[in-house]
Amino acid sequence: MNLLKYFLFIFVTFLNISSVFAQNTAPVVSNVHAEQQAKSHKVDVTYDVFDAEGKPLFVTIQVSADGGENYTIPAVHLSESAGYGIMSGTGKRIVWDAGQDYHEQYGSNFKVKVIAIDAPIGKMVLVPTDTFSMGSNSSLDAFKPQHKVTISAFYMGVTEITNIEYKQFCDATNRAYPNVEEELTYFLNRPDYPVVNINWFDAIAYCNWRSEIEGLTPCYNLSNGACDTTKTGYRLPSEAEWEMAARGKVFGKQFPWGSDTFKSDSCNHQNYDGSLKAKMAVFENSHGPMPVASFNPTGLGLYDMTGNVSEWCNDWYDAEYYTGSPQKNPMGPGSGSEKASRGGDWRRSAEYLRVFHRDNKKPDSTSLLFYRGFRLVRRAR
């Protein structure tokens, strides 16, 4: 059978479906239509979208080959009105390179849905070169001594990597979905929540995949986890990069909002009982993760730098590393048995949510890490 004609047949049988997820007033997606371009393996997906608050939106598509039972067809090579920064409007068009994502795959019961999220998913901000005092002299030995560190400029993701972003990776690479306590309900039905229960190696594999699809040079050797920071691709932040970014230009304070006082309504933590509690995905003790960007950002425009989920860092963990840490761009010890993480999580009290607090876990841990996720950085120089 002629491949082009067959693709044309299955794509014009797509049903017009819209799927809407949001944190405040939901963006409304309507008038979805998908059709293959003539003499091409690319597919035009047109839609209208309206957000009452006028926010820039993250827009993507999901594709099903079984009539909408499972949306697992890889759909990551998207252009035009897809990704972050999409504004409300009619006649929006996404061009999906189906030939690249779904090469020589066949079926007869395809459906497509458009997803619009009003959080700044996928956006990066510049963290400028600066010098700050890292750690703390007034707490545990692992945070001592406080020491001056200079960090070169880098870009950091404004949110933690979400379920919808990680699902695109899984679908494109046939990687297993994360196993979470709510079976797949959390991962599949909460697209704007942070992905959880992935280990360090899962996170770096995502970094390399994301780099490749965006035409960047991957940083990681996946066989041994070695990271080449001179490459252009995405990676996990060093502990020093993470802490400087979390401080948000207000150095010397304990919390990302530029204060030594813990504010119970400013992040997701074990005792949170504020107006956003209904958004929690409940894992234990009536608590769990919330959608990314539910709370106010730091001075640099970064969300959830404390609470919600803790975030894997690139560094090996060493409780005594600060005693001999380099002054410029420290990247952690050369080896170790556990990887560092930062930011605390929804199970933690205030003392674990301070910007200098350090945590650690084996990188290949298979235990349920339903409190740990990650965010991306990449070089700016």
Measured CA distances, 175 to 50, 198, 302, 332, 350 (Å): 33, 12, 29, 29, 35
Per-residue pLDDT, averaged over 314-332, amounts to 96
Q: What is the pLDDT of residues 78-93, one digit of tens each?
A: 999 999 999 999 999 9
Do residues 59 and 22 make contact, with C-beta atoms less than 8 angstroms apart? no
One-letter amino acid at 73 equals: I
Q: Are residues 170 and 30 in the same domain?
A: no
Identify the band that residue 4 occupies on the pLDDT scale cut at 50, 70 and 90.
Answer: very low
- The strand pair at 16-20 and 111-117 is best described as parallel
Q: What is the pLDDT of residues 166-212, one digit of tens each?
A: 999 999 999 999 976 555 689 999 999 999 999 999 999 999 999 99
Q: Are residues 214 and 342 in the same domain?
A: yes
Type and span of the H or E element at 155 = strand 154-157
Last residue of a domain, one of 74, 89, 117: 117
Query: Could you tell me what percent of the chain has a pLDDT over 90?
Result: 78
Helices (H) and strands (E) in the chain, counts: 6, 17
Per-residue pLDDT, averaged over 141-159, amounts to 95
Identify the band that residue 246 occupies on the pLDDT scale cut at 50, 70 and 90.
Answer: very high
Q: Are residues 109 and 192 in the same domain?
A: no
pLDDT greater than 70 at residue 21? no
Give percent helix, percent strand, percent coil of the chain, each to the nearest 5. 15, 30, 55
pLDDT greater than 50 at residue 279? yes
CATH of the domain at 261: 3.90.1580.10
Q: Are residues 160 and 11 in the same domain?
A: no
pLDDT greater than 50 at residue 7? no
- For 16-25, 58-67, 192-201, 271-280, which range has the lowest pLDDT when averaged over its residues? 16-25
Q: Are residues 92 and 170 in the same domain?
A: no
Q: What is the pLDDT of residues 348-363, one digit of tens each?
A: 999 999 999 999 999 9
Residues near 17 by beta carbon (within 8 Å), at least 6 away in sequence: 32, 68, 111, 112, 113, 114
Residues near 171 by beta carbon (within 8 Å), at least 6 away in sequence: 72, 73, 74, 75, 76
Q: What is the pLDDT of residues 30-73, one digit of tens each?
A: 999 998 888 888 999 999 999 999 999 999 999 998 888 889 99
Residue 29's domain comprises: 3-117
Alpha-carbon span 324 to 156, nearest angstrom? 26
Q: pLDDT averaged over the chain?
A: 90
Q: What is the pLDDT of residues 92-112, one digit of tens each?
A: 999 999 999 988 777 678 899
Model confidence, pTM:
0.91
Q: Are residues 132 and 94 in the same domain?
A: no
pLDDT at site 296? 93
Identify the band that residue 242 occupies on the pLDDT scale cut at 50, 70 and 90.
Answer: very high
Alpha-carbon span 5 to 11, nearest angstrom? 10
pLDDT at site 103? 80
CB atoms closer than 10 angstroms to residue 218: 21
CATH of the domain at 46: 2.60.40
Q: Are residues 282 and 224 in the same domain?
A: yes
Residues near 103 by beta carbon (within 8 Å), at least 6 away in sequence: none
Q: Are residues 178 and 92 in the same domain?
A: no
Total domains present in the chain: 2
pLDDT at site 319? 95
If you count them, how many residues does the chain have? Answer: 381
Measured CA distances, 144 to 79, 141, 321 (Å): 48, 5, 9
Alpha-carbon span 126 to 121, nearest angstrom? 15
